[in-house]
Amino acid sequence: MVLSFFDNCGVIFQHYLPMRTSVTAAVFKDIMNMFLKKFKEKRPEMVERDWYFHFDNAPCHTANSTKEFLAKKGIKVIDHPPYSPDLAPADFFYFPVMKKMLKGVEIVDKSVQKDGPGSEGHPGRQVP
């Protein structure tokens, strides 16, 4: 599984999880910390400005511990209406770009398909 964070300028951060890994609130918070570090590196001009985070209503996003974490970090969140598959930003902005970038690319790293980066003994893989 790949968790991707992007804005109108492109992909900021991607994190690969092993197959069959559930994204719990704890896992999501760990990945958010990695994202925030990469965000500061890739978008330093945005760090001090007002910006908003948008994601769907997955349980890891709506958990109280996630909400507390985001509030503590000062991250403002745009609410996602319930049951709104037509409002998925990835469908309109991210997937078309990724489809174009990956056209003709074959994944030969079988570890991504099996145990995957991030499993024990493998620290995970982030795409710059």
Q: What is the DSSP letter of 98?
A: H
Neighbours of 34 (CB within 10 A): 15
At residue 118, the pLDDT reads 41
pTM for the full model? Answer: 0.63
The CATH class for the domain spanning 2-127 reads alpha beta
Q: What are 122's two structure tokens?
A: 């493998």
Grade residue 110 by pLDDT with cuts at 50, 70 and 90.
low
The 10s digit of each residue's pLDDT in 73-83 is 988 888 877 76
Q: Are 27 and 5 in contact (CB under 8 A)?
A: no
Q: What is the DSSP letter of 84?
A: -
